C-alpha cells in the first residue's frame, strides 16, 4: 500500500520458479487480492531453461500452484526463444560461465513472457537478503548504474513492463518459515549446474553478518537507498538492441551477443575472452555489444 505497487484493474505476472520465494509471493498476493479486493488480474509466469532433473521438476510444482491458487500459468522456454536449452549450452561451454548465459537469457525471457501475457507489471520474489547481496556486489564491482537502482522497489517504470519486489524488506528466513507453517507446496532443490551460480562471497558474508546481527541486512538495504550518485557521473545510455529490439546500452543486447557466440560455435565471444578469434568476428562483436565480462547472477528465484 505504502509503495503503491499495484492499481486496481492491473494485470500482474508473478515470476514463478516453484521455489519458496515465488511460491509465497503467489500465495500472499492471491490471498490479499481475494480478501481485500485489490482488483488485480494475477498470472504465474515461468521460464523453462531446459535443465533436465531440475527445472522440469520445479515446473511440476508451478503447475500444481496454478491449480492450488487458481492462477493461469504461462511458461516460456529458452529452446523456443533462443533455440538452445541450458543442457545444450552446458554441453558446449562446460560448467564455467553457464550462469552468465542463463541469467542474461532469463531476464529477457521473463520480459518476453510478460509481453505475451500483456501484463502491466511483473512481481518477483526477491527478498531482503537478495537485495542486500546485490548492494554489496554492485559496490564490489563498482557498478554505479546498478547500485543506484538495485534497491528500488519498482524498476523499469520508463520501459514497457515495470518490475516490482514486494518482499524487498522481508528476510529470507521469514519466507522460509511462512512457507513451512502454511505448508505451501514448493520446490527446494538446487539447480544441477549451480556450483558457480550463487553469489559466493557476498552471500556468505551476508549470512555471517546475519548470525551476529540480523538487522544488518536491512541496514545494508537502507544504506543502498541512501547512496546519492554524483550528477557528473556518466551513466550508460539506454537504447534498443539493433538485432532484437530489447533494451540495451550497446548496439546489441547481451543476449544477442551471447547467442551469436553460441551459434558460431565460439561461446566465449560474449564473455570477454575474444583472444584467438579472427579479426572479423572480433570486429562484429565489438560493434555488437562490447566484450565486457558479465557477472554471474544468483539463481533460484526468477529475477534479477
Ligand atoms: Fe541457470 Fe540458476 Fe542453474 Fe545457473 S544455477 S544454470 S542461473 S538455473
Domain count, the chain: 2
Q: Is 187 part of a structural domain of the chain?
A: yes
Q: Is 119 part of a structural domain of the chain?
A: yes
191 lines ligand 1 (CB under 6 A): yes
Q: Is 86 part of a structural domain of the chain?
A: yes
Q: Is 281 part of a structural domain of the chain?
A: yes
What separation in Å is there between the alpha carbon of 98 and the centre of ligand 1?
A: 7
- Atom in ligand 1 nearest the alpha carbon of residue 55: 8
Mutate to test the pocket of ligand 1, among 77, 99, 189 (most ligand atoms within 8 A of CB): 99
Given this model, what pLDDT does residue 106 score? 94
How many Å apart are CA 214 and CA 210, to the nearest integer?
A: 4
Q: Output the residue whose Cα is nearest ligand 1's atom 4.
A: 99
Residue 116 has pLDDT above 70, yes or no: yes
Same domain, 172 and 63: yes
What separation in Å is there between the alpha carbon of 86 and the centre of ligand 1?
A: 8
Given this model, what pLDDT does residue 249 score? 84
Given this model, what pLDDT does residue 238 score? 80
Q: Residue for cell digits 533436465?
A: 52
Residue 299 has pLDDT above 60, yes or no: no
Same domain, 177 and 106: yes
250 lines ligand 1 (CB under 6 A): no
| For residues 151-173, average pLDDT | 93
Q: Is 228 part of a structural domain of the chain?
A: no
Given this model, what pLDDT does residue 273 score? 44
Given this model, what pLDDT does residue 199 score? 66
Same domain, 187 and 244: no
C-alpha grid cell for residue 157?
A: 517504470
Q: Output the residue whose Cα is nearest ligand 1's atom 2.
A: 299
Q: Is 156 part of a structural domain of the chain?
A: no
Same domain, 54 and 170: yes
Same domain, 289 and 175: no
Q: Which residues contact 106 (CB under 8 A, 6 or more apart)?
A: 47, 49, 302, 304
Same domain, 280 and 170: no
What separation in Å is there between the alpha carbon of 55 and the centre of ligand 1?
A: 10
| For residues 93-111, average pLDDT | 91
* CA-based torsion, 14, 235, 253, 132: positive or negative: negative
Residue 275 has pLDDT above 90, yes or no: no
Given this model, what pLDDT does residue 49 score? 97
Given this model, what pLDDT does residue 197 score? 47
Q: Is 199 part of a structural domain of the chain?
A: no
Same domain, 103 and 177: yes
What separation in Å is there between the alpha carbon of 33 and the centre of ligand 1?
A: 31
pLDDT tens digits along 6-40: 999 999 999 999 999 999 999 999 999 999 999 99
Write out the binding residues for ATP. Answer: 15-17, 21, 47, 125, 130
Residue 63 has pLDDT above 80, yes or no: yes
pTM: 0.86
Helix (H, G, I), strand (E, B) or coil at 245: coil
Percentage of the chain modeled with pLDDT above 70: 88
Same domain, 253 and 187: no
194 lines ligand 1 (CB under 6 A): yes
How many Å apart are CA 273 and CA 267, to the nearest integer?
A: 9
Given this model, what pLDDT does residue 247 score? 83
Same domain, 45 and 175: yes
13 lines ligand 1 (CB under 6 A): no
| For residues 161-177, average pLDDT | 96
Same domain, 115 and 39: yes
Residue 269 has pLDDT above 80, yes or no: no
Structural domain containing residue 245: 239-296
- Atom in ligand 1 nearest the alpha carbon of residue 98: 6
- Find the distance separating the first CA and the last CA of the chain, reported in whole Å: 23
Please provide the average confidence, as pLDDT, over all residues in the chain: 86
Q: Fill in the DSSP letter of residue 155.
A: E
Q: Output the residue whose Cα is nearest ligand 1's atom 1.
A: 102
Q: Is 268 part of a structural domain of the chain?
A: yes
Same domain, 118 and 243: no
Mutate to test the pocket of ligand 1, among 55, 84, 86 (most ligand atoms within 8 A of CB): 86
Q: Which residues contact 91 (CB under 8 A, 6 or more apart)?
A: none
CATH code at position 111: 3.40.50.620
Given this model, what pLDDT does residue 302 score? 36
Same domain, 110 and 254: no
| CB 102 within 8 Å of CB 270 | no
Amino acid at each position: 500500500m505504502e509503495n503503491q505497487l499495484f492499481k486496481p484493474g492491473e494485470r500482474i505476472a508473478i515470476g514463478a520458479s516453484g521455489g519458496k520465494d515465488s511460491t509465497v509471493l503467489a500465495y500472499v498476493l492471491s490471498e490479499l487480492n481475494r480478501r481485500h479486493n485489490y482488483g488485480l488480474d494475477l498470472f504465474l509466469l515461468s521460464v523453462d531453461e531446459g535443465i533436465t532433473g531440475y527445472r522440469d521438476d520445479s515446473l511440476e510444482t508451478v503447475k500444481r500452484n496454478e491449480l492450488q491458487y487458481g492462477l493461469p500459468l504461462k511458461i516460456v522456454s529458452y529452446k523456443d526463444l533462443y533455440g538452445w536449452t541450458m543442457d545444450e549450452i552446458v554441453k558446449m561451454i562446460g560448467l564455467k560461465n553457464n550462469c552468465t548465459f542463463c541469467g542474461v537469457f532469463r531476464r529477457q525471457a521473463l520480459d518476453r513472457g510478460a509481453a505475451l501475457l500483456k501484463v502491466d507489471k511483473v512481481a518477483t520474489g526477491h527478498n531482503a537478503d537478495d537485495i542486500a547481496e546485490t548492494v554489496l556486489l554492485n559496490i564490489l564491482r563498482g557498478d554505479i548504474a546498478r547500485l543506484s537502482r538495485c534497491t528500488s522497489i519498482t524498476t523499469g517504470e520508463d520501459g514497457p513492463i515495470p518490475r516490482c519486489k514486494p518482499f524487498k524488506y522481508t528476510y529470507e528466513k521469514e519466507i522460509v518459515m511462512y512457507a513451512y507453517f502454511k505448508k505451501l507446496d514448493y520446490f527446494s532443490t538446487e539447480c544441477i549446474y549451480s556450483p558457480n551460480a550463487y553469489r559466493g562471497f557476498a552471500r556468505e558474508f551476508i549470512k555471517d553478518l546475519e548470525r551476529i546481527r540480523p538487522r544488518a541486512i536491512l541496514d545494508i538495504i537502507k544504506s543502498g537507498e541512501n547512496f546519492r550518485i554524483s550528477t557528473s557521473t556518466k551513466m550508460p545510455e539506454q537504447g534498443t538492441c539493433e538485432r532484437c529490439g530489447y533494451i540495451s546500452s550497446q548496439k546489441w543486447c547481451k543476449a544477442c551477443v551471447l547467442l551469436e557466440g553460441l551459434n558460431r560455435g565460439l561461446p566465449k565471444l560474449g564473455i570477454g575472452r575474444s583472444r584467438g578469434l579472427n579479426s572479423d568476428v572480433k570486429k562484429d562483436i565489438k560493434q555488437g555489444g562490447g566484450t565486457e565480462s558479465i557477472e554471474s547472477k544468483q539463481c533460484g528465484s526468477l529475477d534479477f
